[in-house]
Chain A
Amino acid sequence: MIGATGIGRGARYRRRSRLQDWGHRLVLLVGSLLVLAYALGPVVWLAVSSVQDEREIVSVPPHWIPERPTLQNYRAIFFAGEKEVTYATRRKGDPSTGGYIPSTADSLLPGMWNSLKVALAVVLLNLIVGVPAAYAIAKIRFWGRSASIYFMLATRVIPDIALVVPFFLIIKKLGLIDDILSLVVTYLAVTVPFTVFVLVSYFESLPDELDKAARVDGCSRLQALLQIFLPLALPALVAVVLFAFLASWNEFLLALMFTQTPASQTLPIVVASFASDFTISFSFINAAGIVAVVPPVILALLFERYIISGLTAGAVKG
């Protein structure tokens, strides 16, 4: 736009313009590289230091490129299995000097499994609860419509830390502590308002005439929603599914309080439990971090387009 080259203008102007054009391109190139370095640098370093062994990882200054890359941490995570430790096979000496792979390495996969179950359930419930409500708010004039929008806004801004204590007491009463069901329920508080906002703004962008036509054809409201609007709203639905999924997958605070054993711990909790333990090797912690990072990043990159449109709609509304 700025560097547009004119045709049929003076040669001097053209030369200046070409110079400007090159300068402009250089700025863009350098800018892009800086942005990429900023956004990816830390993650790349995390990945690099997850394939260094414990002796290499404590080099001063650090080895930016590993000299003896090893996959031992990933092997421990994915193929560990419980090996029986006997008097004969025990490691003598203290794990305190670090570098040991924790016996809990193999609870990462169950943790991932828990995260997946929770996230899928949250996604499903978000759709069941969010789609009809968003449709009603977007397309039906009814008494209390704006009140319901304010209600959503209010729930959207409740800090999660303020919910922890009441949730804790309620969940304890229900006997759901250490049960992934407690996470499914509480994550709804965090995800549903956003889901509704994204869907409302999308439904609003669809013409009202569609609705009227459907009603003339004798569709009920529910039929109109399911047969006409839902197929058209596919992009927004993808965005909503992704957001609910990522929010559940990444959630930390509530999971920290409500899960106590590997039976219910989600991936972030298992990973965090390594991080405060200095007996464990730095490189192992980094590998655990990478395992937690890869699935959401892949999802985000695959569905980048939907995420951006969803973020825009949701944030503007919320």
Chain B
Amino acid sequence: MSKSGFGKMRRRDVLVGMGAAAMGAGARAPSVWAQAAEPLHFVTWSAAVDQVKSHLTAFEQKTGIAVDYSNSPWANYRETLVTKFVAGAPIDVLWVSDSWLPEWADAGWLQPIDQYKDLTRYNGDVTDFCNNSMSYKGRQYGLTYYSDHMAFYYVEDMLKKAGIDTPPQSWDEVTEQALKIKQAGISEYPVMLALARETWLIEFLSAMVFSQGGRFTDEQGMAAMETGCLDALKWVVDAVNVHKIVSPGCVETGELTGLKAFSSGTHAFALEPQYRMRTINDPKQSQVGGRVKQVLMPKGAKGTHATVGWMRFYGMTAQVQKDKARAENAVKLIEWFGGKADGAYAFQKLVFLDIGAGFCTKPLYRDADIIKAYSTYGDAALVEQQAGFARKKDVVTSWFGEWNEINGQVWQEAILKKATPEEALKRSAEAWNKLKKEAS
């Protein structure tokens, strides 16, 4: 009974596979079909899904190369991908965060792409920050998906209602104004911070640390968390526990949840990626649409308006480079997305216009559509000024992934009053130095 059942299953698989082949989609095709034609496997996190799909459709029509596109949540992208790499899952082209480059390159999962002239010819158009962020040990590992930095937002009318005319310049002023807003009953937790242990966490923390004039590591790459880092952590701990201007739920608030909460109008201030401005100020997607303004990152006592910048890029796996023909197709796919498609930086423009994601490609700054779009929801000059303050993360190493687990945990413990800020950062620093020693 079961045997004939299995026979039937196989036949149906084949039929389904053939159906998918006939549709030319191949995206959700079962194994039988995958073995027959083996499309390119393109893995991303679940952002800009429709933009990617539409650009892929155009790619498949133009080149006839089948692409199997799949995505998984950004919140635990590293865990998902690392397991897949280790297991040898079929991945050819993928989105990579600058945070993971050393780890994935050292483990041999990612391969450099600078031997492909079709890809490197775009480097001249790309900002130095992005070119640097895609490079490791002198090799280039990808082409830009997008680049961005953390920005500080406020809901203008909430501040006005509390009698505040100028937005905060420093973290002390954030505390002061938030207390006023809280006392006026406008918002229970005026400041929105998303500090869940997820992929975004390091960028939120870095932004706060940098603006306090601090850093995680020194020039020698040793842990240096005693000053600015400590100030940043102490500010959060007090904001949650003393002033109660940040919700204690911040430790379970991921970036997306936080964005939804800020968009629903329950907070007056938020630390969010610059590109979220587009969503936050879109009345169709946000209840505070049109009422949100940006201000330069608040300064710490010893700090500046510094913030963190980052970039994400298209990378290629070791697996696909082993097969020359597939590698050629992969190059075409990366060029189509990260370089030019039909002679224009089409995808970067598309995601900027649709979603607001920042680009690395200098010529786009002069694009009329882009200039116009910026002016509808943000202050382009301010964005540029803030971008000038953006610094690269100083923890991007091959042991970042492992340290990040510990660091995220100890920050949360301090926020939850399970450890003092000093103890927490001491543990983080010790873990960093130990991992650094092990790796060398």
Contact A94 B285 (CB under 8 A): yes
A278–B47 Cα distance when bound, in Å, is: 11
A295 at the interface (CB under 8 A from B): no
Contact B75 A96 (CB under 8 A): no
Interface class of chain B by DSSP = helix
Contact B87 A260 (CB under 8 A): yes
Identify which of residues 66-120 in chain B touch chain A, using a CB-to-CB cut-off of 8 Å.
69-73, 75-76, 83-84, 86-90
Identify which of residues 374-424 in chain B touch chain A, using a CB-to-CB cut-off of 8 Å.
none
| Residue in A closest to B54 when the chains form the complex, CB atoms | A90
Among the listed B57, B71, B276, which residue makes an inter-chain contact with A85, where contact means beta carbons less than 8 Å apart? B57
B188 at the interface (CB under 8 A from A): no
Cβ–Cβ < 8 Å partners of B254 in chain A: 278
For chain B, the count of residues having a C-beta within 8 Å of the partner chain is: 55
Cβ–Cβ < 8 Å partners of A273 in chain B: 72-73
A84 at the interface (CB under 8 A from B): yes
Identify which of residues 208-254 in chain A touch chain B, using a CB-to-CB cut-off of 8 Å.
none
The stretch among B256-264, B310-318, B331-339 that forms the contact with chain A is: B256-264
Cβ–Cβ < 8 Å partners of B356 in chain A: 94
A100–B84 Cα distance when bound, in Å, is: 26
Mark each residue of chain A from 260 to 283: 1 if its CB lies under 8 Å from any CB of chain B, else 0. 111110000000010011111000
Mark each residue of chain A from 12 to 49: 1 if its CB lies under 8 Å from any CB of chain B, else 0. 00000000000000000000000000000000000000
Cβ–Cβ < 8 Å partners of A117 in chain B: 6, 9
Cβ–Cβ < 8 Å partners of B50 in chain A: 85, 90-92, 95
The stretch among B27-35, B229-237, B294-302, B426-434 that forms the contact with chain A is: B27-35
Contact B46 A95 (CB under 8 A): yes
Among the listed B55, B89, B354, which residue makes an inter-chain contact with A92, where contact means beta carbons less than 8 Å apart? B354
Cβ–Cβ < 8 Å partners of B354 in chain A: 90, 92-94
A107–B69 Cα distance when bound, in Å, is: 13
A257 at the interface (CB under 8 A from B): yes
| Residue in B closest to A182 when the chains form the complex, CB atoms | B87
Cβ–Cβ < 8 Å partners of A261 in chain B: 70, 89-90
Interfacial residues, chain A to chain B (CB-CB below 8 A): 82, 84-98, 100, 102-104, 106-107, 110, 113, 117, 120-121, 124, 168, 172, 177-178, 257-258, 260-264, 273, 276-280
Could you list some 22 contacts between A and B, CB below 8 A? Answer: A82-B25, A85-B50, A87-B350, A90-B50, A90-B51, A91-B50, A93-B285, A95-B48, A96-B256, A97-B260, A97-B285, A98-B260, A103-B71, A104-B70, A117-B6, A120-B5, A178-B89, A257-B83, A260-B83, A261-B90, A276-B73, A276-B75
Given contacts A104-B28, A261-B90, 5 further A-B contacts (CB under 8 A): A82-B20, A90-B354, A95-B49, A121-B2, A279-B49
